[in-house]
Amino acid sequence: MLSKKEKELIAEIWGKLMPVAEDIGSDALLRMFSTFPGTKTYFSHLDISARSPHLLSHGKKIVLAIAEGAQDISQLAVNLGPLQTLHAYQLRIDPTNFKLFSHCMLVTLACHMGDDFTPLAHAAMDKYLSAFAAMLAEKYR
């Protein structure tokens, strides 16, 4: 799915984004909630307004999971096992939301990275986030 060069690029990008993980994650979540209001239903018990502590905290958790998966993409299924179970059986998140979030994350990355979000970076990140979303949805089958 991903070439060696693409895997290295993805790991490098997420490594650079760690200092702003809260910002990236919360921006992507807010973008998803604004664009796809139905996704808010899973967060009705939290304050999901811009820059709220809940949004920043959850956004950071998501980015850390994505970045951790990027360190060894070949082990994505193993590394995401606990998150698959959590989202499928406990939280019962609609798996379509993972695809929606992936799209919102791509847009957020483009905004944050500017010219560094090259066509190669965009294509590689799109493949990776698609694989990440598909892997999270694996327990639903």
Cβ atoms of 59 and 25 within 8 Å: the answer is: yes
Does 91 have pLDDT greater than 70? no
Structure tokens at 4: 């060696």
In the predicted structure, residue 85 carries a pLDDT above the cut 80:
no
Extract the tokens encoding 66: 């994505």
How high does pLDDT run on average in the chain?
90
pLDDT in tens, 23-47: 999 999 999 999 999 999 888 888 8
Spatial contact of 48 and 54, defined as CB atoms under 8 Å apart? yes
Look at the alpha carbons of 42, 45, 50, 52 in this order and tell me if their dihedral is positive or negative.
negative
- Residue 5: predicted pLDDT: 97
pLDDT at 120 over 70: yes
Cα gap 39→62, rounded to integer Å: 15
pLDDT at residue 82, as a whole number: 80
Residue 31 exposure: Cα atoms within 13 Å on the Cβ side: 19
Q: Give the H or E element holding residue 117.
A: none
* DSSP, residue by residue, 61-85: HHHHHHHHHHHTGGGHHHHTHHHHH
Residue pair 64/127 in contact (Cβ under 8 Å)? The answer is no
**For the CA atoms of 26, 28, 30, 34, what is the dihedral angle to 10 degrees?**
180
pTM of the predicted model, to two decimals?
0.91
The answer on pLDDT for 58 being more than 70 is yes
Tell me, what's the pLDDT at 88?
65
